[in-house]
Amino acid sequence: MKLPDFLQFAPFSRLREAMGADKLGAFEFFDPRLHLTAAERERLVAGVWLGWAQLRCLPDYTLAYKNSRVLLWMNAPGGAEAGSGWAAPCYHLAYCRSLQAVRRASPEKRVAVATALPAPDPWPWRVCSDCLQQLQFRGFDAARARHREYSDRVLEQFNVEDFFREYPVYPITSDVLRALDSVV
Ligand SMILES: [Zn+2]
C-alpha cells in the first residue's frame, strides 16, 4: 500500500495552518531496543534484573537502561561486592570505580536497576561514595583532605530525589543512546 505524502496533503496543511503550527515537530518511531514500554517503566520502579550488556553508561557517567536513568544494586547486602566483609547494602548512581571493578571481576553477574530505591534490607541502603566521587556530586571530593568535612556532609545528606532533580530519570534522547555502547 502506498501512503500519500502527508507533508503535501492539503487537509493536513490546512489543519496545521488553522493550528498555527508552522513547524512539523519531531517524532520517533518506537524502537524496543532503545525505548521502554509503559509496562517496562512500571516494572522499573520496583527493579529489573539484567546483564551488563543491557546497561549503558551515559556521557555524564550516570547509568541507563534503555531511555531511562537508573539506580543499580546487586544482591549482596553484606558487602560481598567489595569483598571486604560486612557493609550496609549500597546502591550506585554511576559507572564508578567500584562498579567497573565488579564488572571486570564478574562479567556474568546480574545486576538490579530501578528508578526508585530498594526496600530496606533490613537497614536502609546507602549511596556509593565512589559514585558521588565520579559525578563530583555537589562538589563531593573525598580525595581533597581539607574538603573532607564538606564531602562527608554531602554523603550524609544525599537523597535520591536531589539526584534525579539534577539527572532526570526519563527520557534520554535516542541520539544520546545510539552514540553509546553498553558498558561491556
Ligand atoms: Zn558506585
pLDDT, tens only, 9-67: 888 888 888 888 777 666 778 889 899 999 999 999 999 999 999 999 999 999 999 99
- Ligand 1 centroid to residue 39 C-alpha, Å: 28
Lowest mean pLDDT among 31-45, 70-84, 161-175: 70-84
- Ligand 1 centroid to residue 2 C-alpha, Å: 52
User: What's residue 13's pLDDT?
Assistant: 82
* HSE-up (13 A, CA, CB side) for residue 120: 3
pTM: 0.79
- Ligand 1 centroid to residue 5 C-alpha, Å: 50
For residues 71-96, give the mean pLDDT.
72
Q: What are the φ/ψ torsions at residue 182 (nearest 5 degrees)?
A: -70, 175
For residues 117-129, give the mean pLDDT.
87
- Ligand 1 centroid to residue 149 C-alpha, Å: 20
- Ligand 1 centroid to residue 41 C-alpha, Å: 23
User: What's residue 82's pLDDT?
Assistant: 47
Tell me how far CA of residue 2 lies from CA of 5, 6, 21, 120, in angstroms.
9, 12, 26, 56
For residues 134-150, give the mean pLDDT.
90
Q: Is the peptide bond before 171 cis (omega within 30 degrees of 0)?
A: yes
Report percent pLDDT > 70 for the chain.
89
Tell me how far CA of residue 44 lies from CA of 123, 136, 177, in angstroms.
22, 26, 18
- Ligand 1 centroid to residue 94 C-alpha, Å: 6
Identity of the residue numbered 33: R
- Ligand 1 centroid to residue 88 C-alpha, Å: 14
pLDDT(175) > 80: yes
Query: Concatenated DSSP letters for the chain?
Result: -PPP-GGG-HHHHHHHHHHT--S--------TTT---HHHHHHHHH-EEEEGGGEEE-TTSBEEETTEEEEEE-S-TTTTTTTSS----EEBSB--HHHHHHHHH-TT-EEEEESSPPPPSSSPPEE-HHHHHHHTGGG--TT-GGGHHHHHHHHHH--HHHHHHHS--SPPPHHHHHT--B--
> Average per-residue pLDDT in the chain?
87
- Ligand 1 centroid to residue 134 C-alpha, Å: 8
Contact call for residues 100 and 61 (beta carbons, < 8 A) = no
Within 10 angstroms of residue 130's Cβ, the number of other Cβ atoms is: 20
pLDDT(124) > 70: yes
User: What's residue 78's pLDDT?
Assistant: 44
- Ligand 1 centroid to residue 61 C-alpha, Å: 10
For residues 128-133, give the mean pLDDT.
96
User: What's residue 146's pLDDT?
Assistant: 81
- Ligand 1 centroid to residue 176 C-alpha, Å: 22
Confidence class of residue 130 from pLDDT cuts 50, 70 and 90? very high
- Ligand 1 centroid to residue 127 C-alpha, Å: 8
User: What's residue 80's pLDDT?
Assistant: 46
Distance (Å, whole) CA 152 – CA 158: 10
Contact call for residues 58 and 69 (beta carbons, < 8 A) = yes
